[in-house]
Amino acid sequence: MKQIIMFYLDDCGYCHKAHKALDELMEADPRYQAIDIKKVEEEQNADYANQFDYFATPTFYVGKDKIFEAHIGMTYDQIKAEVKNVLDTALNS
């Protein structure tokens, strides 16, 4: 199982949706709770964040692979489906 790195911003509405989705998915499926998730606030950790290739938050990496990067206009259901894919990818790697 590979580590997930989640890049987010405190004032990002899409990031808040991703955090909510993570909480809901982990409550619904306890297997997800075993995954190591490193949450990185981009502004507070700019030097670290700049080592990765992404433009929008939230962005999720599983190991070294970017699995999901949000884009404008995404609904909560779309974000939740993408976050579930990230968790499943990490669980099965």
Q: What token pair was written down for 35?
A: 């995954």
Q: What is the mean pLDDT of residues 35-46?
A: 97
Report whether pLDDT(1) > 90.
no
Q: What is the pLDDT of residue 3?
A: 96
Q: What angle do CA 88, 91, 93 make, to 5 degrees?
A: 105
At 82 the pLDDT is 98
Structural domains of the chain in order of their starting residue, each with its CATH number: 4-91 (3.40.30.10)
Residue range 49-73: average pLDDT? 96
∠ CA 86-89-93, nearest 5°, is 145
Helix residue ranges per DSSP H, 1-93: 13-28, 46-49, 76-91
